[in-house]
Amino acid sequence: MKKLVLTLFVAATLAGCDQTEPVQTVDWYKAHDAERTAMVSKCRNNPGESDASPNCINAITAQNHLTVEKRGYTKHEPINVLEGGK
């Protein structure tokens, strides 16, 4: 059991070692159009390998936020049908 735990710990540690690029936030990607576009393109070109990386998730989330903001989405209060539709 101890060998299994040690093996898993070493594997998890080594798995994070190849990440050389810094992780950027969603707000950073919103402010940097060229970098966001390049990262989204990179993520979509190879989704099996890079789509789950933090930068891909943040860049795609930033792209989605900007798209929703362009549409003029406004948040509405939910309608509770059981209370008469308020």
Q: How far apart are CA 15 and CA 17, in angstroms?
A: 6
On the question of pLDDT at 43 being above 80, the answer is: yes
- pTM of the prediction? 0.62
Domain edges within the chain: 21-72
Q: What is the 3-state secondary structure (H, E, C) of the chain?
A: CHHHHHHHHHHHHHHCCCCCCCCCCHHHHHHCHHHHHHHHHHHHHCHHHHCCCHHHHHHHHHHHHHHHHHHCCCCCCCCCHHHCCC
List, for residues 44-81, the tens digit of each pLDDT value.
998 888 778 999 999 999 999 999 888 877 777 878 77
Q: Beta-carbon neighbour count of residue 55 at 10 Å? A: 22
pLDDT for residue 3: 57
